[in-house]
């Protein structure tokens, strides 16, 4: 239990601490953002749009062997596209696919400051059809709303394609295609006399 969890009003002046082993090297939390190697995740989402990801080097473990080499990790940023408050808690919809390597207990709300207490939220899979296809649970401030940005670390380097929601393409019609008539030039076009 951290001091900001006991007194949420402190989040207006000091950021929630993060687990350095779950985030890439040189990650710094602020009260309304996360910077990875001096790259603001809120600014990245502003420039690149959501969902987006930033790849950086893994933080060194506390005890490491001499032959340890860092691998790549990613931080993904997604926008909240839907919030439903139920008796059981929050149900969120994001504009990103949550990869299996996502560390959701380290999720952060970025882009604005909040002193609301943290609450658990079920994240629905954007590709699932129907109810009961809840994908994962993450902890976010209880006043989360549509348009908020959420960032979370991922245990390996991701490509943009792995976090983007791909929409299903409608099946192609089996009707015969329309074939255009062959190109022909009028006789009067070629001669000017």
Where residue 11 falls (left for φ over 0; alpha for ψ -120 to 50; beta otherwise) is: alpha
Q: What's the confidence (pLDDT) of residue 178?
A: 47
CA distances, 2 to each of 5, 34, 131, 147 (Å): 5, 18, 35, 27
Which residue is it, tokens 């649970």?
137
Q: What's the confidence (pLDDT) of residue 79?
A: 93
Model pLDDT for residues 1-25, shown as the tens digit of each residue? 676 667 777 777 777 888 888 999 9
Helices (H), 40-137: 41-48
Is the model more confident about 161 or about 36? 36
Residues 83-99, mean pLDDT to the nearest whole number: 87
> How many other CB atoms sit within 10 Å of the CB of residue 191?
6
Is the model more confident about 141 or about 187? 141
The Cα–Cα gap between 113 and 187 comes to 73
Q: Tokens for 142, please give them.
A: 């209880």
Q: What is the pTM of this model?
A: 0.74
Model pLDDT for residues 21-67, shown as the tens digit of each residue? 899 999 999 989 999 999 999 999 999 998 999 999 888 777 777 88
The Cα–Cα gap between 41 and 52 comes to 9
| Cβ-contact 123, 134 below 8 angstroms | yes
Distance in Å from the first CA to the final CA of the chain = 93
Query: What's the sign of the alpha-carbon dihedral 106, 112, 115, 120?
Result: negative
Model pLDDT for residues 111-158, shown as the tens digit of each residue? 998 888 888 889 876 666 555 555 688 888 889 999 999 999 998 988
């Amino acid at each position: 239990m951290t001091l900001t969890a006991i007194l949420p009003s402190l989040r207006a002046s000091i950021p929630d601490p993060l687990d350095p082993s779950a985030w890439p090297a040189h990650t710094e939390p602020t009260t309304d953002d996360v910077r990875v190697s001096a790259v603001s995740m809120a600014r990245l989402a502003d420039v690149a749009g959501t969902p987006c990801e930033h790849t950086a080097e893994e933080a060194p473990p506390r005890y490491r062997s001499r032959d340890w080499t860092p691998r790549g990790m990613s931080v993904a940023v997604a926008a909240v596209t839907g919030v439903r408050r139920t008796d059981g808690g929050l149900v969120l919809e994001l504009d990103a696919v949550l990869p299996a390597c996502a560390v959701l207990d380290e999720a952060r709300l970025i882009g604005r400051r909040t002193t609301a207490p943290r609450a658990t939220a079920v994240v629905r899979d954007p590709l699932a059809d129907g109810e009961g296809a809840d994908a994962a649970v993450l902890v976010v401030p209880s006043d989360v709303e549509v348009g908020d940005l959420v960032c979370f670390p991922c245990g390996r380097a991701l490509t943009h394609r792995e976090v983007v929601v791909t929409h299903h393409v409608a099946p192609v019609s089996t009707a015969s295609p329309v074939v255009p008539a062959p190109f022909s030039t009028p006789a009067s076009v070629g001669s000017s006399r």
